Copies of this chain bind each other. A is one copy, B any other.
């Protein structure tokens, strides 16, 4: 069946990150359909909600029936949004009552800034973690490496930096990363700067073909990017990880979110590290 893209709206009285996340978690189950997504965040008043309803109803008059997801927590805003002719999936309404009954408590039902500054101490630790990550990116600084909760170890271009940034930004984890150079790979011993820190290391690998492709983008037709060189480095890195009992994650098959989740899971089962959190 041929049809145009389906207009999808994400509505929120704050950033809309929750509405997008949950909405997309459902839409990904329809890989054959094409969606045209639009985020409308910060809907703060009934007045603003009425303007949004006008936008929605205009879309309703188009050729393809739209769909809207909302996480607005303010009753006033939600009531106005409900007057739209567009079908709305209301994540808040549907679950709030159930959660209230389980908890035996009433929810505040106010626009809550889940993605606001919130807990200022936690927020500041995320900001500090980013600073730490940038300072220690790509082995730039070996100072205070023992303050790192996690050290990502890998040959060049295996995805250390994005994973470092994600863990810092989203979880406030202090992450350093250490690039394995040719001289580090001559033996299976941990390189000297991280020799005593093996218990907080995670090793990344990739497929040789993918690594070569990524390196080609940086230095086309260089020995550095050759399939032969990539294969050699990855094989030796893998041997080094195994020799030192370092958990290995494949960045070709895993996204930064998945790699981060795996790392946090492993950290969770190592309570000693949690305690060393700066």
Contact = CB atoms under 8 A, between A and B. Distances in A.
A25 B91 contact: yes
Contacts of A130: 161-162, 165
A89 B96 contact: no
Contact of A113 (B33, B107, B165, B258): B258
State the oligomeric state as a number of copies.
2
A20 to B, nearest CB: 9
A169 B169 CA distance: 9
A126 B258 CA distance: 15
A97 to B, nearest CB: 11
A73 interface: yes
A63 to B, nearest CB: 14
Contact of A137 (B39, B71, B134): B134
Contact of A22 (B22, B87, B113, B134): B22
Interface string A229-254: 00000000000000000000000011
Interface residues on chain A, size class: 35 or more
Contacts of A21: 17-18, 21-22, 114
A112 to B, nearest CB: 4
A261 B15 contact: yes
Contact of A89 (B67, B98, B113, B264): B98
Interface stretch (A116-124, A143-151, A201-209): A116-124
A26 interface: yes
A195 interface: no
B255 A113 contact: yes
Contacts of A274: none
Interface in A163-213: 165-166, 169
A158 B113 CA distance: 21
A187 to B, nearest CB: 30
A112 B265 contact: no
Contacts of A27: 99
Given A103-B6, A105-B30, A115 B258 contact: yes
Residue from A29, A123, A130, A265 whose CB has the most chain B CB atoms within 10 Å: A29
Contacts of A73: 25, 29
9 contacts: A15-B261, A17-B21, A18-B22, A22-B91, A29-B73, A42-B262, A91-B95, A113-B258, A118-B255
In the A-B complex, the 6 residue pairs with the smallest Cβ-Cβ separation, listed nearest first, are: A29-B107, A115-B257, A18-B25, A28-B112, A21-B21, A15-B261
